[in-house]
Amino acid sequence: MEARRVSPRRRRRPYKPRTSFQFFTFPAATNVLAAALATHKYLAATALLVVGTVAAIVLGYVVPWLILLSRKTGSVLADVDGTWFLWSVAIHSGAIGAAILEHHATSGKDVLAVVAVISWSMGIVLYLCTAVLVMMRLITLPVGPRDIGPPYWILMGLSALVVVAGTHIVGMDSTPIVDDIRGLVSGLLVMFWGIAAWLLPVMVAVGIWRHGMCRVPLTYTPALWSIVFPLGMFAASSMALGDTDRVPLTTWIGRELMWAAVAVWAATYLAMAWSGVKRLRAIRG
């Protein structure tokens, strides 16, 4: 029998592990929006938190499984990059949303406390596992200046995000699970803030090496927004840690760094706008 020809449109497209973890930006954004609406739109915030949490859970099972299935030969380490930290970012965003909603809840405080604590704890586990994979990737495989791009800044931002989520948990109302973990969380906040502070000059040095010494062109790509998030999150975590543990130095660092984060945001936004203008000119000919 003659073999059936498969139409090019019906051929299964290869799965791309390098872009798969970007789907975790959806639950992260949804949970952040839930936290922002918690004060005035509690029901809408609750619905968004449910959607974001369910999406993070589903993606947490589906994405790693698809990555494993997509690897016919070779190691998955070749596809590991900074975007993999978005998995932990999505989980921590759920902890922040649940902790903020708990302050405004009239019922179900115990449930929100459990969601916040478990999300924060699981987020740290994913943080550590991903950090190990990234380190193995950098050590065992060849790495060039084009391989270490802006998404690696997410590691620094995630360290700061752990602090922000933890401060919200420390400030939650008294429930059995929060009371049991409050002391541990408070101690870990300082450690993760220190990690973020240590990583900041490292990432700046990597950028100088990449663009200054290796001459990789600094042009606009959506990945540049991966630098804006960590800077803003580190500033927010510094101020949050200063308020929670009464450390004036971190509060001052956060306030000063916030101006740098705003400047980087403005520069990235202008670069995006100019890139759009150039594309329109190219289309019009």
Residue 105 sits at φ, ψ, to 5 deg, of: -80, 140
pLDDT, position 19: 73
199: tokens are 């990583």
269: tokens are 């936004």
- 284: in domain: no
- 147: in domain: yes
Residues in the chain: 285
Query: What is the per-residue pLDDT across 21-50, written as a single tens digit (0 to 9) for each?
Result: 888 999 999 999 999 998 888 899 999 999
Query: What is the per-residue pLDDT across 226-269, written as a single tens digit (0 to 9) for each?
Result: 899 899 999 999 999 888 878 888 999 999 999 999 999 999 99
pLDDT, position 10: 47
pLDDT, position 121: 93
- 144: in domain: yes
Identify whether the C-beta of residue 164 lies closer than 8 Å to the C-beta of residue 238.
no
- 23: in domain: yes
The alpha helices in 15-41, defined as continuous H runs, are: 17-20, 25-37
pLDDT, position 203: 93
Query: What does the CA dihedral 119, 103, 37, 273 come to, rounded to 10 degrees?
Result: -60
- DSSP for 46-85, please give it: HHHHHHHHHHHHHHHHHHHHHHHHH-SSS-GGGG--GGGG
Range of the domain at 201: 15-274
- 6: in domain: no
Look up the pTM and report it: 0.86
Query: What is the per-residue pLDDT across 126-178, written as a single tens digit (0 to 9) for each?
Result: 999 999 999 998 888 888 888 888 889 999 999 999 999 999 999 888 888 99
| DSSP 8-state secondary structure symbol assigned to residue 145 | T
Query: What does the CA dihedral 93, 40, 108, 184 come to, rounded to 10 degrees?
Result: 40
CA 254 to chain centre: 19
- Give 17's pLDDT tier (boundaries 50, 70, 90): low
Distance CA(180)–CA(182), nearest Å, equals 6
Distance CA(108)–CA(121), nearest Å, equals 20
Does the pLDDT of residue 2 top 50, yes or no? Answer: no
Neighbours of 39 (CB within 10 A): 12
- 2: in domain: no
Identify whether the C-beta of residue 232 lies closer than 8 Å to the C-beta of residue 258.
yes
- 142: in domain: yes
- 283: in domain: no
Quick one: which of 270, 264, 130, 271 has its CA closest to 203?
264
106: tokens are 């009239």
Number of domains in the chain: 1
Distance CA(101)–CA(116), nearest Å, equals 10
Identify whether the C-beta of residue 35 lies closer than 8 Å to the C-beta of residue 95.
no
Query: What is the per-residue pLDDT across 178-225, written as a single tens digit (0 to 9) for each?
Result: 988 988 898 899 999 999 999 999 999 999 999 988 888 888 888 889
